[in-house]
Amino acid sequence: MANETVLADRAKKARRIVRNPSMYKVCMGCDSIVASKVNICPNCHAYRFQADEEFVISQAKALSTREQNSVVAEDLL
């Protein structure tokens, strides 16, 4: 049941990103989707991003169908 909740939450976030892709970009270091105003990825500290809206939408759809497998800032606390 917890897995379904996690995937439902990721799908909800993906829908928000797909509706407003210009507000996001994809980190080229870890493939995370971050806010467009971010200069350094909070997860991997990379500074290279892809802001193409079609790429952001494609990444959001891909990430919404699987569990998170990357390390995020909260994991390091």
Domain-wise residue ranges, the chain: 2-76
Residue 8, pLDDT > 90, answer: no
| Residue range 36-54, pLDDT digits in tens | 999 999 989 999 999 999 9
DSSP 70: S
Token match 């959001």: residue? Answer: 60
Q: How many CB atoms lie within 10 A of CB 20?
A: 11
Q: What is the rounded distance in angstroms from the CA atom of residue 77 to the CA atom of residue 68?
A: 17
Which residues are within 8 A (CB) of 59 and not within 5 positions of it... i.e. 6 or more apart? 26, 31, 33
pTM of the shown model:
0.81
For residue 24, what pLDDT is reported?
Answer: 97
For residue 18, what pLDDT is reported?
Answer: 95
